[in-house]
Amino acid sequence: EAGVTQFPSHSVIEKGQTVTLRCDPISGHDNLYWYRRVMGKEIKFLLHFVKESKQDESGMPNNRFLAERTGGTYSTLKVQPAELEDSGVYFCASSQEGTGFSPLHFGNGTRLTVT
Amino acid sequence: AQSVAQPEDQVNVAEGNPLTVKCTYSVSGNPYLFWYVQYPNRGLQFLLKYITGDNLVKGSYGFEAEFNKSQTSFHLKKPSALVSDSALYFCAVRPHSGAGSYQLTFGKGTKLSVIP
């Protein structure tokens, strides 16, 4: 099966610009997650979709971040306007079940650099 | 809130020697524990998990981990290290239930270098 795919792999933008990250989960996986790793720090949870619904968005840092999952397939994460502290690697993950012990399948991540 | 500590930023081990990557956790109630590995320019790959039952769990590529409830630890081990094991290793925890039960909480990661 194809894995979780993320686009783009790298993005360099200037402060104040907008960037949209995309994630295509494994086909049939209803659960989709976004995580972020800021340089040198832990990987942090951002939000969780079940199909097209946001199950938990408690990790979203502020209202400059908007995640969508129209139709319950792929998801986008938009940062508008971007700030320097948004730089990091954004990971998407999916799982077939939403149970706590289902391992997540991660994409390769999008490395975002805000200058 | 849950937390994970990986006390070593880097672990160096000679090829063929046993390796241990340490992890301790804090969580309310019983934990689900995971180890993931990240190779350069790749995403995180699942290695193994502890749900319940036997404290010693076996995973991919010959890795195993031992759950110790009294010490709240979940150290990753392998009897004989390979150069190809060199990567970044992340320990993660999820609570069984309650707030945040779908959120994985990660440690900072430990870079493992296996020296030929």
| Structure-block tokens of residue B1 | 């809130």
| Structure-block tokens of residue B55 | 């404290």
Q: Which of A104, A108, A109 sits opposite B104 (nearest CB)?
A: A104
* pLDDT, position B20: 98
Q: CA B91 to CA B84: how far, in whole Å?
A: 19
Q: Which of A41, A98, A106 sits opposite B108 (nearest CB)?
A: A41
β-sheet bridge partners, residue A34:
A47, A92
Q: How confident is the model at residue A101 (pLDDT cuts 50, 70, 90)?
A: confident
Contact B34 A56 (CB under 8 A): no
CA distances to A31, B52, B80 from A93, in Å: 8, 24, 31
| AA letter at B79 | P
CA distances to A45, B38, B79, B80 from A102, in Å: 16, 18, 27, 28
* pLDDT, position B30: 85
Average pLDDT over every residue of A63-79: 95
Mean pLDDT across chain A, nearest whole number? Answer: 93
More confident residue, B101 or A100: B101
Q: How confident is the model at residue A58 (pLDDT cuts 50, 70, 90)?
A: very high
* pLDDT, position B53: 86
* pLDDT, position A1: 65
Q: Mind telling me how many Å the CA of B42 is from chain A's nearest CA?
A: 5
List, in order, residues 6 or more apart from B19 with CB less than 8 Å away.
B11, B13, B77, B78, B81, B85, B112, B114
| Structure-block tokens of residue A4 | 């979780």
Query: SS3 breakdown of chain B: % helix, strand, coil, rounded to 5?
Result: 5, 50, 45
Query: In B, which residues are within 8 Å of A60 by CB distance?
Result: none
Contact A100 B95 (CB under 8 A): yes
* pLDDT, position A98: 65
Q: pLDDT by residue (tens digit) across B2-52?
A: 899 999 999 999 999 999 999 999 988 888 999 999 998 889 999 999 988
Terminal CA-CA length for chain B = 41
* Nearest CA among A3, A29, A99, A72 for reference residue B102: A99
Q: Residue length, chain A?
A: 115
* Nearest CA among B105, B48, B51, B52 for reference residue B77: B48
Closest-CA residue of B relative to A45 is B103
* pLDDT, position B28: 85
